[in-house]
Amino acid sequence: MDIQQAFKMSFKSLMASKLRSILTMLGIIIGVAAVIAIMSIGQGLMNQVNEMFSSLGANIIQVGVYGRGESSRQVTVDDMYDLVNSNPDLLCDLSPLVNVEGQAKSGTEAFGQTSLNGVSEAYDSLQLLKMSQGRFLQYVDVARKEHVCVVGSYVAENYLGGDALGKVIKINGEALTVIGVIEQQGDNTERSEDNNIFLPYTVALQLNGTSRVNNYGLNATSKENIAAARETIEAMLAAKLSSDDDDGGFYYVESLSEMLEEYNKMQSTIVTVLAAIAGISLLVGGIGIMNIMLVSVTERTREIGIRKSLGAKRRDIRLQFIIEAASTSAIGGVIGIVLGSLVGAAAGVLMNTTITPTLSPILLSFGISVGIGIIFGYLPANKAAKLNPIDALRYD
C-alpha cells in the first residue's frame, strides 16, 4: 500500500465518525491555539515596547544624582557639562531634567495632569522631538532664563484652542509665552506624552526655589559607545561623591538600550514558560489520540484480519494507523493555528497594537502536533500490525 492510499483511507476513517474525530483533536487544537496566542501576544508586546524605546532614542543614558543633606558633596550642572565637553567621542546632547512642582493655567482654566518639565536646548535632540509649529528652546532661552515654553499637541489642542503660538501660560503665577508646539507623539490623550510643557531648566529651578538638579539625560554618540560612556559617567560621579562620612551622596546611571535588553530577556522567558505550560495540553491531546486509536484498532480488528489474509504486511497496517493518527493531530494543529491567530489578533485590538503570528511558533506548533500524533499513534499502530490474521478474523 502506498502512502497516498493510506492518506485516503485515514481521511475516510476520520469522516466516518466526525464527532469522535473532533473530540480527539480537541486537546491538540487547544494546545496549539494557546501556544500561538501566547507567543504572538508576547512578541507583540515586545515590539510595542521596542518601538516606544526607539521613539525615545536608543542611545539615551539617564543619570540621577542625590546628596544626603546640604553639606554633602554635590555634582553640579557645570560638572556634567564639563564631562560631556571633555568626552565628545562618547557623550552628547546633555539636558538637565527638572520636574516643576505646580500647576499650569491658561486664563482661569487649570490644566489637568499636564507634566511640567525643565529642560535644556538639547532635549529635542535627546528625545528625537519634531516641531509642528514654532521652535524648540534655544541656548539663549536657557542662559537668559527667558519665560518661554514649548507645549505638546494635547495641550495645544485642548487648553489653547489649537492656536498655541504666542499664548501665555501661567505656572505658579509666573507667565510663560508659548514659542513652539511639538508634533503628536502618542495617542494625544491626557495621560500621553503629548500632555507636556517644556520650559528652560533655569526657569524651572527658580519656580521650585532651588538650585540643585538631580536628574540628567544625555546621549551616547553611538550604540557601540554606550558601555564606555556609562563607565565614564560613573567614574566621574564616584570621584565627586565619594566620602568617608555619612553625608556621601549616591547616584544611578541607566541606559535605555540596556533596560530594553533586560526587559526583552525577561519577557521572552515569561512567554516561553507560559507557552510551555500551554503546551501541556498538547501532551494531553496526544494521550487522547492514543486512546482513540486503541479503540479504533479494537473496532477494526476484523478489517485488519481481512487485509492481512489478502496479503497486507505488518508495515502496511502500521503505516495506515500511524498516518491516521498523524492526520488527526495535523488537522487539529491547523485548526489550532487559525484559532490562535484569531485570538492574538483580537488581543491586539484590545491592546491597541498590531499582533501578527510569526512563522517560527506556527511551524513549531504544527511540527509538535504532527510529531505527537506519530509518537502516540505508534503504540496502537504496532498493536494492529501484530494481530494474528486468524484471531482477527474470528474476532466478533
pLDDT tens for 165-217 read 999 999 988 999 999 999 998 787 877 889 999 999 999 999 998 888 999 99
At 156 the pLDDT is 92
At 138 the pLDDT is 96
At 249 the pLDDT is 66
At 90 the pLDDT is 93
| 8 A C-beta contact, residue 218 and residue 99 | no
Closest CA to 187 of 150, 152, 160: 152
Beta strands at 115-119 and 196-200: parallel, antiparallel or unpaired:
parallel
Give CA torsion, residues 102, 106, 112, 117, to 10 deg: -50
Enumerate the domain spans of the chain: 3-53+264-394, 58-256
| 8 A C-beta contact, residue 92 and residue 84 | yes
End-to-end Cα separation, the chain, in angstroms:
26
Q: Give pTM, 2 decimals.
A: 0.62
C-alpha cell at 120: 535644556
At 131 the pLDDT is 94
C-alpha cell at 256: 535605555
At 20 the pLDDT is 75
At 133 the pLDDT is 94
At 375 the pLDDT is 82
pLDDT-flagged residues of the chain (< 50):
71
SS3 288: helix
